[in-house]
Structure 1
Amino acid sequence: MSAPKYKAKSKINWSKIFIIGLLGLALLAFILQSIPSSGRSQPVAQQQPPAQAPAPPPFTDEGDLFITDGETGEQKARVDIELAQNANETAQGLMYREEMGEDEGMLFFMPTFEPQSFWMRNTLISLDIIYLNEQQEIVSIMPNTTPLSEAQVPSGVPARYVLEVNAGFAERKGLEIGDLMAW
């Protein structure tokens, strides 16, 4: 007969106890956060008023743009233009502006000659969006855009430049595809 075997005393696994304790504390914190806070003050971040839209930048006249009839060369319109020549200026565009002068607009220089698309996010006024090719010829006119819309306003054809003017400008000035612009 062999000698009886004794069971070794089990060791306490402190790492498991520590992990279980942490999980318990996390669960308790979650439960306490979900209980309505009657009488408790809200965190400072929740007490602050919502952020206001930034003040619109003033119009900056950076040049004159002339639109001429593509067949006769007769001048149809002149526009004071503000330029959007880099990614930041293009992203800002005419956002937050509440008005723009009758013969004012913004000219965008796109990095590539390809179909372009704009939207009216944070744009408070309706615009005509006029797309131009590399020869500065009108290739597409998207009139009377919807303010604050995130719907895409596509050129439908490749464009290199984009002119934004007040809604109805293209119709009032008789602008057509094939008209030329120079600035």
Structure 2
Amino acid sequence: MVTDYSGTSRFNTTEDRSTSAEVCIASAEDRGTSAEERIASAEDRGTSTEDRNTSVEDRGTSAEDHIASAEDRGTSAEDGIASAEGRGTSAEDRIALAEDRGTSAEERIASAEDRGTSAEDHIASAEDRGTSAEVRIASAEDRGTSAEVRIASAEDRDTSRKTAALLHAV
């Protein structure tokens, strides 16, 4: 095999091709050996098949045991049915209890509605207090105005006194 100037490998001679043929023959011989191994393996599997037949016969006996066991389970199933019937009564008790809780829930709803009315009363009361507070503020403003009038009046009296004192001094 040679590589040309482009870097591509190619067969150049029949010698290269014959070497490749020898590799193929050796590979085929290996496959022949592999085939012999497969035949031996198949013979081993034949023995294994005989073992399996014996095992199936053993399982036949085991199947009889399973039937007896299933009959026992049948009895157990009857016990389970009786137990389930007992649980059925318990389920009825739970339903009655849930219905009682439903009534209790209705009572809680009515109570909450009553509290809603009470909340409305509180709001109205707070609004009344708000009005009362506004009246007090107006009253305080009136008193503030009255105080301003008194201050002005006192200032007038003071001015008046000063004027009188000046006139008296002259």
TM-score (norm 1): 0.21
**Given the two structures, how large is their TM-score scaled by the length of structure 2?**
0.22
More helix by share: 2
Higher strand share: 1
Larger RCO (CA under 8 A, 6+ residues apart):
1
Instruction: Kindly name which structure, 1 or 2, has the bigger radius of gyration based on alpha carbons.
Output: 2
